[in-house]
Amino acid sequence: MYNLLKGKKGIIFGALDENSIAWKTAERVHQEGGTFVLTNAPIAMRMGQIQELADKTGSEIIPADATSAEDLENLITKSMEILGGKIDFVLHSIGMSVNVRKGRHYTDQNYDFTTKGWDVSAVSFHKVMQTLYKQDAMNEWGSIVALTYMAAQRTFPDYNDMADNKAYLESIARSFGYFFGKDKNVRVNTISQSPTPTTAGQGVKGFGGFIAYAEKMSPLGNATAQDCADYTVTLFSDLTKKVTMQNLFHDGGFSNTGVSMEVIERFED
């Protein structure tokens, strides 16, 4: 390893199990010398194996509902106490659609479900950053990263209202990124990752077929959760100090490929 994060301290949201990108990122950050607090919603913590990750990385866990300002204030205050100072990096790896879970089609949304998913998946990112900003909790040249998907730019029918959530998430990154950059020299970016077989991702209808399609469309193949963890580490490091307000496609070239020969051959007579 390269000690890219030696001496750096952070908070990682959303580690559920070993399939999750946040889990892989936590392991990778640990390998690179970083220390961090793990956090997730209490209900998610009961479903996952986050204690195993904490034990492996020597980290503490602070339960927090990322939609609750009170929980976030407590999380950030306690994290700085545990870590011994301000924060250098934050990963927001949170997403949830009740409409998807309940099988509601995009044209037949339950708007209470929509609001809940929007709050968890997108507005929570603003709440996290607003709390960090108001508490002056980020070190200069710190880095904040959220995970997104290119359904924010292109239509993937079964991605449902999560596409709208991701579009809003990316807009928040740009808008808050401006103020965090101007006022505190902190950078804010989103990573638009390949479809990845996380516990949450596999809840999307037809997900297995879509992963296979993306693999054939991408010149370098799909980026795995481990690949994304590696990329996230570079964004947390000092090697990317002037990268901010960007939506960074990490998808093996999928986002810039109109059609691949493999897909053409699939449909030729």
Q: Which residues contact 212 (CB under 8 A, 6 or more apart)?
A: none
The residue ranges of DSSP E strands in the chain, in sequence order, are 9-13, 35-39, 60-61, 87-92, 138-148, 187-193, 247-250
Spot the catalytic one: 133, 159, 168, 178: 159
Cite the annotated binding site by residue number: 14, 20-21, 94, 166
Q: Which two tokens stand for residue 53?
A: 């990750």
- Give the C-alpha separation, 13 to 41, whole Å: 9
Spot the catalytic one: 2, 133, 149, 231: 149
Closest by CA position to 225, among listed 187, 257, 191: 191
Q: Nearest 5°: phi and psi at 199?
A: -60, -40
Q: Where are the alpha helices (DSSP H) in 20-123?
A: 21-31, 42-47, 50-57, 69-83, 98-101, 111-118
- Give the C-alpha separation, 11 to 18, whole Å: 18
Cite the annotated binding site for NAD(+) by residue number: 14, 20-21, 94, 166
Could you confirm whether 149 is annotated as catalytic? Answer: yes
Q: Which two tokens stand for residue 196?
A: 């990845």
Q: Which two tokens stand for residue 54?
A: 């904490």
Strand order in the sheet with 9-13: 60-61, 35-39, 9-13, 87-92, 138-148, 187-193, 247-250
- Give the C-alpha separation, 130 to 14, whole Å: 18
Mapped onto helix, strand or coil, the DSSP state of residue 36 is: strand
Could you confirm whether 111 is annotated as catalytic? Answer: no
Catalytic residues, by residue number, are 149, 159
